[in-house]
Amino acid sequence: MKVLYFAWLRTHIGHGEDRIDLPAGINDVRGLVEHLRAKGPGYARALTDLATVRVAVNHEYVGFDHELKPGDEVAFFPPVTGG
């Protein structure tokens, strides 16, 4: 599974992309977030306040309850500021 980070989430984590095999028992975005938080202080900091984090799976916005499938592309990023 490809996991992407953008803007200040990427800055905190230190890189923009991880390849992750979804551990057994994790089947939604919330589970993935908890798994990532345990990977280190940068991850924990980036994913502390989920009110400021948006999630997309396969290029579509989803909620934290969204179910994940192997091969999904998951992205975490702050509210957008383009335009």
Partner 1 sequence: MIRVQREDFDPGAEIAALTAGRHDIGGVVSFVGLVRDRVEGGRVGAMTLEHYPGMTEKQLAEIDAEANRRWPLAASLIVHRYGRLEPGDRIVLVVTASPHRDAAFDACRFLIDWLKTKAPFWKLEETAAGGQWVEARDSDDRAARQWESAAGKPDAAE
- CA–CA dist 69, 5 (Å, integer): 19
CB of 30 to partner 1, least distance (A): 21
Q: Please identify which residue in 1, 20, 35, 78 interacts with partner 1, judged by CB under 8 A.
A: 78
Q: Please identify which residue in 60, 65, 70, 71 interacts with partner 1, judged by CB under 8 A.
A: 60
User: According to DSSP H, which parts of 14-75 are helical?
Assistant: 29-37, 41-46
Point out which span in 3-11, 20-28, 42-50, 63-71 binds partner 1 (CB under 8 A): 3-11
Let me know: does 17 contact 5? Beta carbons within 8 Å. yes
